[in-house]
Amino acid sequence: MRFAVFPGRSSEISMSMKFGFRGVIALNLALNVFTASGAIGLVIEREEETLNHQAPADDPGWANVGVCQRWTAVYLGRGWVLTAAHVGPSDITLEGTMYRADIDSRKRPLNPDGTEADLVLFRIEPEPDLPSVKISAESPPIGSPIVMVGSGMGRGEKTAGEGRVGFSWQAPLIKRWGTSMVHEYLHDQSVGNTDAFATRFSIARTAHEAQAAHGDSGGAAFAYLEGRWQLVGIILAVDNHIGQPERSSVYGNRTMIADLARYRQFIQDITGVLSD
């Protein structure tokens, strides 16, 4: 499976990972049929527009998730931003305010073998008046509920193909949140050379069941652990089924999310953002 990524210029990455009958798709694919510019959120199974388009009542860190190159990034604190490396450093808009990226500040979190994960840190100016987020020291247990926040394509019309039912992707330009559960670990650096975990899009599994779509790369995954909200992951990619309609999310698809517990110490050493 090959996929095009566009962090400011056209490039192409080869991903050898296959999950049986699935392929893996990065979420900053260029979809030229969508001409609107700006940030475009999660495919939410039962979306409530007035609810999912603003911070949830029990807010995990909504304001710290912003728009970066029409994709998504997370403000950690102390002037530092984290996103997917295939998105790349760029100016970021947080709560309607744009902050300039210091491209020279970029740092790539490393795996234990010294290779680079599909994550990138960079500084922005001026420093936003936002709280720091806590990065979890532990991987979220399988079955843990999570809240995802992203600025990718939203839910369109129902679709079906090869016995797979789901929704097409649509482009209202708005940030959304949705919910899911940790389904499995992918601790073999098979997702863009990154240790990860995955959710699975399921019928009514959670109250606001969601699957990532184009534009959600770099988005946040939060879990409520040890009595507080913690940042547990960065959205990287989705898989799809053979015969699945293009630009769609169907039941059974997975969202692959970088497991930040595996990179927490590196991130803390670089940024000075305390996670305790």
pLDDT of residue 14: 28
**Per-residue pLDDT at 74 exceeds 90:** yes
Using the structure block, give the residue that is written with the tokens 């940790």: 182
pLDDT band at 137 (very low <50, low <70, confident <90, very high): very high
Q: Could you tell me which of 107, 144, 139 has the C-alpha nearest to residue 122?
A: 107
Burial 2-15 (b: 16+ CB within 10 A, else e): ebebbbeeeeeeeb
The confidence score (pLDDT) of residue 31 equals: 32
- Name the pLDDT band for 204 (thresholds 50, 70, 90): confident
For residue 180, count other CB atoms closer than 10 A to its CB.
Answer: 28
Angle at 133 between CA 128 and CA 139, to 5 degrees: 150
Q: Are 66 and 80 in contact (CB under 8 A)?
A: no
Domains of the chain in start order, with CATH, are 2-51+136-262 (2.40.10.10), 72-133+263-271 (2.40.10.10)
Confidence of residue 23 (pLDDT cuts 50, 70, 90): low
CB 120 within 8 A of CB 108: yes
Q: What is the predicted pLDDT for the residue at 244?
A: 87
pLDDT interval class at 247 (50, 70, 90)? confident
pLDDT reported for residue 166: 85
Asked whether the beta carbons of 256 and 249 are under 8 A apart, the reply is no
Per DSSP, 158 falls in state E
Neighbours of 270 (CB within 10 A): 17
Residue 274 has pLDDT above 80, yes or no: no
Two tokens, residue 63: 């304001």
| Cβ-Cβ contacts under 8 Å for 232 (sequence gap 6 or more) | 135, 136, 139, 140, 146, 221, 222, 223, 225, 257, 259, 260, 261
Q: What is the mean pLDDT of residues 133-158?
A: 93
- pLDDT value at 9 more than 70: no
